[in-house]
Amino acid sequence: MNTQPPVPGLFDRAEAAAAHVRGLSPGPHDLAVVLGSGLSVVANRLTDSIAIPYEAIPHFPRPTVAGHEGKLLLGRLGGTRSIVFQGRFHSYEGHDLDAVTFPVRVLSRLGVKTLILTAATGGIRADLRAGSLVVVSDHLNLLGANPLRGPNDDRLGTRFPDLSEVYSKRLRVMAKEEGKRLGLDLSSAVYACLPGPSYETPAEIRMLRALGADVVGMSTVPEAIAARHAGIEVLAFALVSNAAAGVTGAAITHAEVLDAGHKAAPILAKLIERAAARIASGPA
């Protein structure tokens, strides 16, 4: 006879994790940021912060990839009460998409209204090279899966969410305005999400280019879908850490991705801080 207690449902697990966070830092928290590979230095812009290791939060997965530290930070960013995730989860690590998007589910239980996603990506478009920074305007979900598949809990979101504007046009306009103030000419880009962990082949990159993709990566899209399911407004930045396979003929390494992230992180941190301040001031 199985005497193990039943595993709590997704809503209950998210609520338990959120309750733990509330106990350490009562809300409201207006903004959350997820940091991609090599971008943890962005967290240094946070003030009055406390750190919670992921392993201390009920039901939280554990990241296994270099460049993902595995901490949840609570503090102020641009004067805004914020939550920053140092490290994310990927399906290529063996996580199912419920685990990949679990932090977003926790944010929804904490009442967060705005989510900023960041990612290191490969540049497909000819003008994008290592160090380029773009605002994600749309995506191609080529994971072969969707984080909303399976029974729907209406407490988490509607059964059939509209994805005609996954990445908020209002926030994209605001981000470009703040970018100009920092001397950045931010262009928009379509993000293609593939499962990884191997980098794409040159033939796959030619396919993605034909489909209209500008950058390619292995994250961001499941989180964005889950956020829109929960009614959270999404802004996403993609750092081009390398030219995609076949663009230059050079091999791609994870060390290259991390190095590009470290070099670009300071300016991205300033941009996110400015965006946070604008978000705190309310709609223009």
Helix, strand, coil shares, percent, the chain, to 5: 35, 25, 40
Catalytic status, residue 90: yes
Q: Which position among 218, 230, 244, 276 bears the catalytic label?
A: 218
Q: Has 91 been annotated as catalytic? A: no
Catalytic residue among 68, 95, 139, 229: 68
C-alpha span between 200 and 165 (Å, rounded): 27
Q: CA distances (Å), 272 to each of 156, 191, 269, 283, in order?
A: 27, 19, 5, 16
Active site residue 93: yes
29 catalytic? Reply is: no
Q: Which long-range contacts (CB under 8 A, 24 or more apart) does 2-10 make?
A: 8/59, 9/153, 10/98, 10/102, 10/105, 10/153, 10/156
Of 213, 266, 284, whose CA–CA distance to 45 is shortest?
A: 266
Given the residues 254, 256, 262, 277, the one annotated as active site: 254
218 tagged catalytic: yes
Q: Is 37 a catalytic residue?
A: yes
**From 15, 29, 37, 189, active-site residue:** 37
Which of 16, 51, 69, 92 is an active site residue? Answer: 92
CA dihedral 275, 184, 87, 213 (to 10 degrees): 110
From 227, 230, 242, 264, the catalytic residue:
242
Active site residue 25: no
Known catalytic residue at 120? yes
Catalytically annotated residue among 120, 192, 224, 260: 120
Catalytic residue among 82, 141, 219, 241: 219
Task: Indicate which residue of 29, 90, 95, 139 is catalytic.
Answer: 90
Residues acting as catalytic residues:
37, 68, 90, 92-93, 120, 218-219, 242, 254
